[in-house]
Structure 1
Amino acid sequence: MDKIWSQIYGYWCGIQHYRWYGILGAWVIAIVGWAYVIHMPNKYESTARVYVDTESLLRPLLSGLAVQPNVEQRLSIMTQTLLSQPNLDKVIQQTDMDLSIKTPKEKEILLKELKQAIKLQVSKDNLYQISYEASESQLARRVVQSILNIFVEKTLGSSQSDSTNARQFIEQQIKVYEELLNSSEKELMDFKREHVGLMPSEKGDYYQRLQGELEKLEDAHTKFNIAKSRREAIKRQLGGEAPVIGFGSSYEAGSIKDPIGSITGAGDMRIQLLQEQLNEALLKYTDKHPDVTALKETIAMLRRKKDESPSKNSANNKMNDASGGEAEKYQPEINLSPLAGNFYYQQMQVSLAEADAEIATQKARIDALDKSVSHLRELVDTIPKVEVELAVLTRDYGVYKKNYEQLLARRESAKIGGNVDESPENVKFRIVDPPTEPVIPSSPKRPLLITAVLFVAIGAGAAFAFLLSQLKLVFYTRENLEDTTGVPVLGIVSVAISGGDLRKKRADIIYFFSALGVLVAGYGLLIANYLFNIQLFSMVKKLVS
């Protein structure tokens, strides 16, 4: 540790020995450096701050009703593209900077410098700061004002332009889909017209319809067999029943009722019942439905039977008229009552008529269903193809219709959204600090540079003195001498300074610190000139003039 301190002391002594060279070098460097700093061109910075209010009251009111513009994203994109070449070209034209441009190369250099000099800072609370430095204060203010105008106009203008482009695109798509929809409707209508009777109904596709007809046919066969069995059972019961003759007070000729009349009345009841069933079926099905066809054929058959029965009754009446005289001769002594039909016998006759009608109905239904099944089986290759083509046409029509309706809804939303974009309530720009024309230069930072020059000058002077001490080797300590020569030093003899030499040494020190003080005083004057704006150089110029 002592050796290190001894070495440092030796270096210090060497610098002290050449201190005048050091102070001279410091003076030269300080004067040159300060002169350079003083003559550096002034730059003036103009700054503007603007607050962008994107929290519009219209947003919650129009939520889900209109297309909401993404103002934050638009501002972000505008911030990134603000310093694009087209915008900078506008700035150059608006600030008359293009008047000094003579060649495309100069314009390219100016655009590059302008892009580097313009600064745009964005804070989290949507506060934008635009700043620019120029050699002229008026130019700096004009550039900032131009950038601010472009920022506001582009942000609002891009919104309106986007809305207009979106609406134009939607209108074009609506026309396209309207044509597609009309064409699809016409094609679907023509297809249905060409394939009448082959279209799938509410009952399903071809195979479902065929399966349904087969099930109906099986059901008709079952009911037909049941009706036949019922008729046979009724016939067997009728075989064991006979009309009953009762006794009364008088006898009236011709009062015996013919059971055929009872059957005819039952037929009328059956026709009326079937007619009601037909009316109900027509409310559900078409005229070509098998059930409707079967009911019609059954009613027609019963009516034919009804028309045939009067002719038989008239023949029987004629026979009775022919034998009427003889019948009067055989008036019995006993008062026989009229031959009244047994009520159970009549009911069985009605049931038999109903069973016959049911058999005829089911037979007609079976015939109609057989025709329907045969017809469907003949179309086994045609109907599925028609159904597939119809499904394709219907699917295309559904897609076109859905997209067309969505486009109509989007058009209305876009109209409302465009009105929102054009509304001043959508986004607001509030100028917090308008661009001003600066008076005090913003750069260079002369106080800082002058201070740096002072320290650099003092450091360079000390380094120069140290360099001289190393070039002209002088031993100031015993350890330094021993280390350099390698010879042991037995002792040190101090120099005896006389009074005159001591005074010279003291004067030399005073002069040295005076020179250093003048250097520091010059630094102080320069700092005061720029910090307190005392206009030192203007005063010197006036004194000189």
Structure 2
Amino acid sequence: MNSLYDEFRVALHSVWTRRWLVLGVAWGICILGWLAIASIPNRYDSRARLLVDINQILPDDGQAGSFGGNQQIDQIRETLTSARNLEKVAITTGLLPAGASDREKAGAVAMLQKNIKVVPQQQNIFEITSSVGVGSLSDADNAKLASGVLDSLITVFRDDQLRGGRMNAREGLKFLDSQIADREKALREVEARRAAFEAQNIGLIPGGAGSPAQRVDAARAELNQIDSQLVSAQAQLAAANGQLASTPATINVPGMGGVGGGVARQQLAGAQGELSAMRARGLTDAHPDVIALKSQIASLKAIADREGTGGGGGGNAQNPAYASLAAMRAERQATVSALSSRKAQLTGDIAKITTQQIQNPGIAAEYDRINGEYTAFKAQYDRLLTQREQVRMRGEVQTETDAIKIELLDPPSKPTSPAAPNRPLFLTLVLFAGIGGGIAVAFGLGQVRTSYATAAKLERASGLPVIGSITEVVTPERHVERKKRLVWLAGGGGALVGLYVLLLVAEFIQRGMVA
């Protein structure tokens, strides 16, 4: 323990004997460090919070020429600090002089992009921070510039959004108009080619809308439906025939004479009159209604023949149930006849189209291709018309209303103290570094030089016994000189600390001038 204490005393003595070196090194380190700190400009931060609200009047349909609220929010995040906006900010705030070169513009934009940060706090709320520390400007100018950059950025962004929405709508309409004109021209060309092809191959192409393959598919689909309806109608007719066969045509009524001219004859006369009216309207015998009515007349004739001519003295009367079943059967027979006629017509059409396709495969394929091309162009044309109307409506909404609402939740703050560097802390660290560096240099120099502060240290180093040591004799004159030097040393150290305090006071005064 005593050895460690002795070593400490020796080291302290070695440093003390070189106290002027300690003071000189401390002054040198402090002066250099404080000059380096003074060359660092103060950086001032300004913050603002921005609310960007999308006025979603029209629904988001995801069509071309429009984009939803979430996509607009993402676009706002990307364009808020775009190079174009930051160049306008640099010009507005005076960072770029008039007639600046492209290199100067690029440098100013890069500096602003580095020192402006946009942090989304929520989906449509952003915190914007600008940091400004231009060495050629004073602290007051830097603080003012930090707030001015945010003011200018928000103003430029608001103007660009309001003007950009209308410009996008106009550009979208212009683009869609050109696309619609192209599709309309192509559609007319395809229509002309189809008309010329039909005129050139008249008689080889069946009439009707759509290509032959499409018409065959439509006919087959209808034929499948008619088959199911015909099966049902035939089952209902068979049921009506069975009920009619088991029902007597007349019933015996005691005390009642025969009835002249039965019900069937009366229905027959009415049906024949209706047939005459149809023919007077110009309907031919091939018309489905005429075919059904003629079938009903034949059935009624058979019933009327079984009734006889009627006359007096008989006791039989017409059975109402039989007459009702006969009318029902006639109606179902007409339905079966109409369905059978339609089935025969569809079957004939399918056979005709198929035959024409087999006989003229090239013509059918070319006609299918032209029709397919026409259908594709027509669908594109209709879709573009729908999109154009949607873009036009959105443009009117942005013109008449604020499609994007930009509101300042917190205006740009006015910084009163620098955010960086922490100059008082750095000044203090440099002072301690200077004092520590001086002590370290003095101690190192003492270790390098071969001198011994005590007789015991000399004895250990040489391995020889030391008989004794002679202490220093200080004369009064030398004692006065030592006191004078101590005063000078204290003055040098005090001047160093005083300079440190003066720098701290100057820093706080400078901050007060900014506030």
**So what's the TM-score if we normalise by structure 2?**
0.58
Mapped to 2, the partners of 1:483 and 1:156 lie a distance apart of 89
d(CA) in 2 for partners of 1:465, 1:424: 74
**SS of residue matched to 1:451:** helix
Distance 1:130 1:466 in 2: 48
Instruction: Specify which of 409, 427, 436 is matched with residue 405 of structure 2.
Output: 427
How big is the shift at 1:22? 0.6
Give the alignment of 1:315-394 within 5 angstroms.
379=356, 381-394=358-371
In the alignment, structure 1 residue 146 sits paired with structure 2 residue 155: no
Distance in structure 1 (CA, Å) of the matches to 2:393 and 2:99: 47
Distance 1:166 1:94 in 2: 31
Distance 1:476 1:169, change over 3 A: same
Work out the CA distance in 2 between the residues paired with 1:19 and 1:47.
48
Change (3 A) 1:147 1:133: farther
Give the match for residue 460 of structure 1.
437
The answer (yes or no) to whether the contact 1:88–1:111 under 8 Å persists in 2 is no
Contact 1:52 1:428 in 2 (8 A): yes
Decide whether aligned partners of structure 1 residues 188 and 504 sit closer, same or farther in structure 2, where only a CA change above 3 A counts: same
Query: Hey, what does 1:120 align to over in structure 2?
Result: 116
SS in 2 for 1:476: coil
Change (3 A) 1:281 1:121: farther
Instruction: Assess, with a 3 A threshold, how the Cα gap between structure 1 residues 166 and 52 changes in structure 2: closer, same or farther.
Output: same
Aligned to 1:12: 12
Q: Deviations over 1:336-366 (max 9, x none)?
A: xxxxxxxxxxxxxxxxxxxxxxxxxxxxx9x
Output the amino acid matched with 2:190.
S
Name the CA distance, whole Å, in 1 between partners of 2:164 and 2:130: 20
Aligned residues of 1:529 and 1:535 also touching (Cα < 8 A): no
Structure 2 unaligned segments of length 5 or more: list them: 207-211, 225-268, 295-340
1:212-238 residue CA offsets vs partner (Å, 9 max, x unmatched): 9xxxxxxxxxxxxxxxxxxxxxxxxxx
Q: Is the 8 A contact 2:87 2:105 kept in 1?
A: no
| Structure 1: runs of 5 or more not aligned | 213-268, 286-290, 296-364, 537-545
Does the CA-based 8 Å contact 1:20-1:512 persist in structure 2? yes
Question: What is the aligned-residue RMSD (CA, Å)?
Answer: 5.4
| Counterpart code for 1:75 | I
SS at match of 1:51: strand
Q: Is 1:415 aligned with 2:392?
A: yes
Alpha-carbon spacing, 1:35–1:378, altered in 2? closer, same or farther (3 Å): closer
Is 1:420–1:426's contact at 8 Å kept on the other side of the alignment? no
Partner of 1:282: 286
Judge conservation of contact 1:50–1:433 (CA < 8 Å) in 2.
yes
Q: Residue 205 of structure 1 contacts residue 387 of structure 1 at CA under 8 Å; is this kept in 2? A: no
CA drift of 1:51 comes to 0.5
Counterpart contact for 1:478–1:489, Cα < 8 Å: no
Residue aligning to 1:77: 78
Alpha-carbon distance in structure 2 between the residues aligned to 1:374 and 1:406: 37
Residue type matched to 1:77 in 2? Answer: E
In structure 1, C-alpha distance between the alignment counterparts of 2:472 and 2:43, rounded to whole Å = 63
Q: TM-score under structure 1 normalisation?
A: 0.56
Q: Which residue of 2 aligns with 1:59?
A: 56
Task: Judge conservation of contact 1:27–1:519 (CA < 8 Å) in 2.
Answer: yes
2:17 aligned partner, one-letter code = H
Partner Cα distance (1:24, 1:372) in 2: 116
Q: What is the SS of the residue equivalent to 1:204?
A: helix
1:232-252 C-alpha deviation (Å, 9 max, x unpaired): xxxxxxxxxxxxxxxxxxxxx
Counterpart AA for 1:424: D
Distance 1:495 1:283, change over 3 A: farther
Contact 2:23 2:493 in 1 (8 A): yes
Change in CA separation of 1:417 and 1:20 when aligned onto 2, cut-off 3 Å: same
Once residues 369 and 424 of structure 2 are traced to their aligned partners in structure 1, the CA distance between those partners, rounded to angstroms, is 84
Q: State the distance in 1 between where 2:197 and 2:61 align.
A: 40
Q: In terms of Rg, which structure is larger?
A: 1
User: In the alignment, which residue of structure 1 is the partner of 2:202?
Assistant: 195
Q: What's the CA shift for 1:23?
A: 1.5
| Match runs of 1:292-303 below 5 Å | none
The 3 A distance-change label for structure 1 pair 98 and 446 is same
Could you say what secondary structure the match of 1:430 adopts? strand
- Given that 1:52 and 1:430 are in contact with CA atoms closer than 8 Å, whether structure 2 keeps it comes out as yes
- Alpha-carbon distance in 2 for matches of 1:2, 1:531: 48
Percent identity among equivalent residues? Answer: 18
User: What letter matches 1:122 in structure 2?
Assistant: V
Question: Which residue does the alignment assign to 1:179?
Answer: 185
Aligned to 2:46: 47
Letter in 1 for 2:52: D
1:72-118: per-residue Cα shift (whole Å, max 9, x none)?
2211221452xx2x55554454345555878x5xx625742563256
